[in-house]
Structure 1
Amino acid sequence: MNGMKAKAIRYYLGESMEKFSKRIGVAASTICAIENGQREVSDYVRAKLVRIESGLPGDFSLFYERFRTSA
């Protein structure tokens, strides 16, 4: 799990940084720093993101591939 995938999950869910940070349980500034590569993904955040990703529909992988190649 990296910042790009975290950002893709947030975009896929259509959530603001504020709303997404509340879902994860961290400050919005932490999400911002992770997405911009200024901070590593902690084990706590990684576990939350993996749990969220596992609940997403199968088309997320297609979304992520497009998201990744457009960045």
Structure 2
Amino acid sequence: MDKNKARAIRLFMNESMMEFADRLGVAASTINDIEHGHRDITDRNLAKLIRLELQMPPAFSDFYERFKNNT
């Protein structure tokens, strides 16, 4: 899991940084810092992101491939 996949999950879920931060139980500034590479993903947040990724529908794989190619 890296900043790009974390951002892709948020975008796929169509959530703002604030909404995604609430889902993860962190500040919106934490999401911003992670997505812009100013902060590493902590183990706790990594576990939360992995759980979210495991719940993604199969369409997320295609979305993420397109996302990677456009970043």
Q: TM-score, normalised by structure 1?
A: 0.97
Match of 1:54 in 2: 54
CA RMSD in angstroms comes to 0.5
Task: Give 1:3 deviation, angstroms.
Answer: 0.6
- Structure 1 distance, partners of 2:19, 2:4, is 18
Task: Give the 4+ runs in structure 1 shifted more than 2 A.
Answer: none
CA deviation vs aligned residue, 1:12-38 (integer Å, no higher than 9, x gap): 000000000000010000000000011
- Structure 2 distance, partners of 1:69, 1:38, is 22
| Long gaps (5+) in structure 2 | none
Q: What's the secondary structure of 1:44's corresponding residue?
A: helix
Equivalenced residue count is 71
Identity of aligned residues (%): 51
| Long gaps (5+) in structure 1 | none
